[in-house]
Amino acid sequence: MLINLIFESSFVMRFCGVLVLCLFSTIGLAQKTIVSGKIIDANSGDPVPFANIVFKGTSIGTTTNFEGYYKLETSERVDSLIASYVGYVTKTKVVRPGVTQTINYQLEENVLSLQEVVFIAGENPAFEVLRNVVKNKDKNNKRSLSAYQYDTYTKIEIDVDNISEKFRKRKVMQKITSVMDSVDRIAGEDGKPILPVFISETLSEYYYRSSPKLQHEKILKTKITGVGVEDGSVVSQFIGSSFQEYNFYQNWLNIVEKDFVSPIADGWKFYYEYDLSDSAYVGDHYCYRLDFFPKSEQDLAFVGTMWITKDGYALKQIDATVSSAVNLNYIEKIKIQQELEPTSAGPWIPVKNRVLLDIGEVTKDMAGVLAKFYTSNKNVQVNMPQELKFYARPIEVAEDYKIGNDNIFWDKHRHEPLSATEQSVYRMIDTLKNIPVVKTYTELLKVAINGYKKVGKFDVGPYLSLYANNTVEGHRFQIGTRTNISFSNKWVLGGRIAYGTEDESFKYQGFAEMILDRDRWTVIRAEYTKDIDQVGLSADDLLDNYIFLAATKYGNLIRPYRYHQAKFSMQRELVKGFTQKATFQYRTFDPLYNFGYYTDPERADSPIATEFQTAEVALEARYARDELFVQNDNERISLGTVKWPIVTLRYVRGLKGVMDSDFDYNKVGINITKNLKMGFFGTSNFTITGEHIFETLPYPLLKAHIGNESLFYTSAAFNLMNFSEFASNSYASVKYRHHFEGFILNRIPLMKKLKWRLLATANVLYGQLDQKNRDIIPLQTVDGEPIEPIGSFRKNEPYVEVGYGVENIFKVLRVDFLHRLNYLDRPDVDKFGVKISFQFIL
């Protein structure tokens, strides 16, 4: 009996013990705290990747992924959660213990300057990591692959931000305000209201080949919604991944036409301070965390954080920011976030990129602009180069790029689903586009940018040439028109007509252009023109300087003449970068000043003529190895070259007797232009030009060098040379310009706040006017009127002018101080001059 009682008691105790353990285990599970959420920037609404999340009072934490998401759990008793990241204000939120919950953050940017990094005794431990990063660059840089390709998805959003109450009360904004108030704040509950005006999505295939360096992107599908965006064919060429390429393994990154030094550049120690702040797993890779800061806050450099793999010293992740302290105009912030993965061959390729460009208010009463870019790359393949002809067009848009672009297609094919915020962006833009006042201002902006007003199938303009006033024509009124792509994608027809109230004469032009091939750009053009011009200021020589060309129709015209011109030309890009052009031109010369020439200089009694006709054939070969173009409707626009110079060779043959032409002649010429990027020392540009004319001709058929007697500076002219002061039958010239950016003035305490920038210029012209070309011009006309001679160079003495100046004064004004170094004995020349110009630069 006693034994049974003891056994039963023991069983009960064990049963109770098991019951208690189960109960406590259940209670423990019930008290497990699970928190997930997303961290975004309160200003832009963009995710904040790599941010730190930790339960307060514990060591339990994690970091957000590239999309800003996190998940954290604990069985410990916790009551709050802390979110922090470099450059942002740390934020704490209350946690409900023992439950699963969602906690999102909108982090505010920390406007205080980052504190200096101070190391005591010994070498900075980050330096050893940086040395290994540079040592392993060739092994990790994607450009060391013979080729790579991937499928890419690109998303771009442009918003108006920093919308003040004063700006909202403007008349133009009042009807838009109701739209803003009817939609949730895009940036989130704690964020600032923004007004989206453009969003696009693109699917494309990107290919790169290293030898020779070539790239090709085929835009497969685009979805574009924006205020003022209609056709979208031009925009489609800019919204792929080609313009979102940021390679930190390069020493310099070109952003908004400025060169920023990479934090892993070969000369990293000269530009940055570093802090080895942590080490942890990032995905499957154990990484060192390095924070970096520019040594001078105004230099074109970044501040941020990067993660370097311990195995191989490759860049795994980077978050780099350019702050408003940098010597840039209008730019408040540039942020680049990048995540990389290794390829099968070893080098790493970015699989996700996010770029934020924050453009500040031009004035206090205006709003700012946010431009946000996101790129995702998948299906990476390496070391499979395509044939060279495959890369003939760097950017190609598929013919069906707009077909089948419904929501079902994009829900299936975009790499990342749209957030609720982005879905509301589409709805808001669709609403904005239908507001009448928005349509009106959009049209005005287009006219300001393009110079033409689109009216159905025609463009009317250009507005710069609508009116002029000069000593020959008096008041000059002009109107022009041309067809656009709505009329035809093969034919461009156009013309203009002008009338002068003083000479009571009509001037006009008509042209027809046919696009034969868009892949290898092939164009045929025929035109006929009747107008006035000035010797040495030919419109054909100033086509790339529209403002200066329009200005030549104002004021006192120097050596003016009337002309008729018939011109036929054909050009074709034979292979990538190499364009051939052939032109036939007939032109008359009817001077409106005292001019004459001997028709037979060999005779002592040679007749004197005042007019002449020419017929000529010109052959031109242009080579620009890495030049990038985009097609704007029926035009092709050059975006310049990256590394190589542009070389143009030209041969002209005059045909005497053809269409009553008066002269036989041969001209050969060359032009070389190149931009030089010199890092922190700034950027340079030089142009070398040379020409030789073999026959004896009157000076209007020679090279009458462009002078500038106006107050305004222009790179198209020799700025202290008078109009038509020199002519040459053989010459060579060098024009050099260097922009120091903020290299010097950034280091002067009282000057760096102004953000002024120094520049230097030098123009050298070595010319020759043979005696035969001088003798062909008589001292007086047949009527006895004296003829003003054309100036010539002294033997072995080039014309030289040098200058220095300051640009970025009030962000738009440039002042050049110029010195003419020789030919000072001539009448009415200035050995020193001050000229101004206005420019919009970043």
Q: Are 262 and 253 in contact (CB under 8 A)?
A: yes
pLDDT of residue 678: 79
Q: Are residues 679 and 611 in the same domain?
A: yes
Q: Is the pLDDT of residue 195 over 50?
A: yes
For the segment 444-501, what is each residue's pLDDT rounded down to a tens digit?
666 665 678 888 899 998 888 899 999 999 999 999 999 988 899 899 999 999 999 9
Give SS3 for 73.
strand
Classify residue 458: in a domain, yes or no. Answer: no
Better-scored residue on pLDDT, 781 or 530: 530
Provide the domain count of the chain. Answer: 4
Same domain, yes or no, for 9 and 103? no
State which H helix or E strand residue 113 sits in.
Answer: none
CA angle 322–278–125, rounded 5-degree value:
85
Residues 293 and 386 in one domain: yes
pLDDT > 70? residue 364 = no
Residue 112, pLDDT score:
52
Same domain, 55 and 170: no
More reliable by pLDDT, 735 or 280: 735
DSSP state of 145: S
The pLDDT-based confidence of 782 (bands split at 50, 70, 90) is confident
Q: pLDDT by residue (tens digit) across 11-41?
A: 444 444 444 444 344 444 447 889 999 998 8
Higher pLDDT, 320 or 710: 320
646 vs 223: which has the higher pLDDT: 646
Structure tokens at 101: 């919950």
pLDDT in tens, 687-746: 999 999 999 999 999 998 988 888 888 888 899 998 878 999 999 999 999 998 877 887
Work out the angle at residue 276's Cα, subtended by the Cα atoms of residues 271 and 280, and round it to the nearest 5 degrees. 135
Q: Which of 441, 467, 493 is the last residue of a domain?
A: 441
CA distance 257 to 330: 14
Mean pLDDT score across all residues of the chain:
84
CATH code assigned at 646: 2.40.160
High-pLDDT (> 90) share of the chain, %: 43
Structural domain includes residue 116: no
Average pLDDT over residues 274-279: 88
pLDDT recorded at residue 542:
63
Q: What is the chain's length?
A: 842
pLDDT at position 182 over 60: no
Residue 512 falls within a domain, yes or no? no
Only one residue has tokens 């004035």, namely 363
Question: Does residue 454 lie in a domain region?
Answer: no
Asked if residues 595 and 787 have their Cβ atoms less than 8 Å apart, the reply is yes
Q: Which domain holds residue 413?
A: 126-441
How many angstroms separate the CA atoms of 675 and 667, rounded? 27
Give 174 or 805, the one with higher predicted confidence: 805
- Summarize the confidence of residues 104-115 as an average pLDDT: 71
Residue 519, both tokens? 């892949």
CA distance 610 to 659: 18
| Residue 282, C-beta contacts closer than 8 angstroms, at least 6 positions apart | 63, 307, 316, 317
Q: Where are the alpha helices (DSSP H) in 136-252?
A: 137-140, 165-168, 171-182, 233-238
pLDDT at 743: 78
Residues 132 and 15 in one domain: no
Give the number of other CB atoms < 10 A from CB of residue 550.
Answer: 17
Domain shared by 13 and 85, yes or no: no
pLDDT given for residue 246 in this prediction: 87
Same domain for 643 and 657, yes or no, is yes
Flag whether 272 is in a domain. yes
CA–CA gap between residue 662 and residue 588 (Å, rounded): 10
- Do the domain assignments include residue 418? yes
Higher pLDDT, 230 or 99: 99
Could you tell me if 130 and 2 lie in one domain? no
> Strand 683-693 to strand 703-704: parallel, antiparallel, or no bridges (unpaired)?
unpaired
Which pLDDT does position 130 carry in this prediction? 94
Q: What is the pLDDT of residues 377-435, one digit of tens each?
A: 999 999 999 998 888 788 888 888 878 778 889 988 888 888 777 777 777 777 776 66
Residue 115's pLDDT band (boundaries 50, 70, 90)? Answer: very low
Q: What is the CATH number of the domain that holds 99?
A: 2.60.40.1120
Q: How many CB atoms lie within 10 A of CB 377?
A: 21
Q: Which of 706, 696, 624, 687 is nearest to 667 (CA)?
A: 696
Confidence of residue 586 (pLDDT cuts 50, 70, 90): very high
Question: What is the per-residue pLDDT for 151?
Answer: 95
Binned at pLDDT 50, 70 and 90, residue 184 comes out as very low
Same domain, 236 and 298: yes
Most confident of 49-63, 455-469, 497-511: 497-511
Indicate the range of 168-182, 536-550, 661-675 predicted with least confidence.
168-182
pLDDT band at 127 (very low <50, low <70, confident <90, very high): very high
* Amino acid making up residue 490: K
pLDDT at 178 over 70: no
Per-residue burial over 478-508, b if 16 or more Cβ lie within 10 Å, else e, is: bebbbbbbebeeeebebbbebbbeebeeebe
Is there a single domain that holds both residue 569 and residue 549? yes
157 and 196 fall within a common domain: yes
Choose one of 398, 415, 441: the last residue of a domain: 441
What's residue 447's pLDDT? Answer: 61
Share of the chain above pLDDT 70, in %: 85
Q: Is residue 495 a part of any domain in this protein?
A: no
Domain-terminating residue out of 441, 463, 496: 441
**Both 45 and 179 in a single domain?**
no
In a domain, 14, yes or no: yes
| pLDDT at position 655 | 96
Least confident of 38-42, 268-272, 492-496, 794-798: 38-42
At 634-682, the pLDDT tens digits run: 888 787 887 889 999 999 999 999 999 999 999 999 999 998 887 778 8
